Homo-oligomer: A and B are copies of this chain.
Amino acid sequence: MSGLPIYEVIRRDLLSQIRDGVLRTGDRLPSEPELAAQFGVSRMTVRQAIDQLVIDHVVVRRRGSGTYVTSAPRYRRLNRLAPFRDEIGVGDADVRTEIRERRELVAPPDVAERLLLKEGQKVVRLVRLRTVDGEPAALQESWVPYALAPNLAREDLVEGSLYRTLSERWGVAVKWAEQQISAAAATEEQASLLGVPMGGPLMTIVRLTFSGAESPVELAHSWTRPEYPLLTRLDA
């Protein structure tokens, strides 16, 4: 059963009403006092639920008017860690993962440093090629501390997802990440794997993922074809 705070229950209820089409784009939510009455809670608790939806841009508040369901679902899942399928924004296309390499090795110095490992400690290196409808879309190289997921190099991934695997097999939940986004020219190997001309432009991301406040879980480099831009939303 629950254990969930009430505002979280309310948040999920509202979210599922939106996802299920009970509340549609542009619709006004019931007013805060109204929701408070419906759920039998105080208005501050309702506000707490709505606060979360506002942070995720699912709804917007308009003072004096009401709270409305946001128009653009494509901007909802951004600035958040998300499964590759959502990140690349291809909707219901056929997304597959092809593992090109998976092995244990002693961490190279630069990798060890960013993962806060000591010299000589091992890591698992994982290289995945992601395809969309059969066409290569992105290449991902991940480094995970061996101590965190000892059998990672010998086990299959849960649905191609490293984060799901870490969570379900080793109870390591990813909490946040920092990213550096840039561009680079495709190397010969990248070009052939991704089906782009050698020297052609690729989006690059270097990501360091954390579980707790200070413990890195994964260092990842990725190269993505430029026709899959990253969508972001910025607030003032």
Contact = CB atoms under 8 A, between A and B. Distances in A.
A178 interface: yes
A199 B199 CA distance: 8
A183 B79 contact: no
A60 interface: yes
Copies in the complex: 2
Interface residues of A, number: 41
Interface string A103-116: 00000000000000
A88 to B, nearest CB: 12
B183 A232 contact: no
A181 B200 contact: no
A79 B79 CA distance: 7
Contacts of A2: none
A234 B227 CA distance: 22
Contacts of A233: 176-179
Contacts of A213: 60, 62
What are the 5 tightest A-B residue pairs by CB atom distance, in nearest-first order?
A183-B183, A182-B229, A183-B201, A180-B229, A201-B201
19 contacts: A55-B55, A80-B234, A80-B236, A176-B235, A177-B233, A178-B232, A179-B230, A180-B230, A180-B231, A181-B181, A182-B226, A182-B229, A182-B230, A183-B183, A183-B204, A183-B226, A185-B201, A199-B199, A203-B203
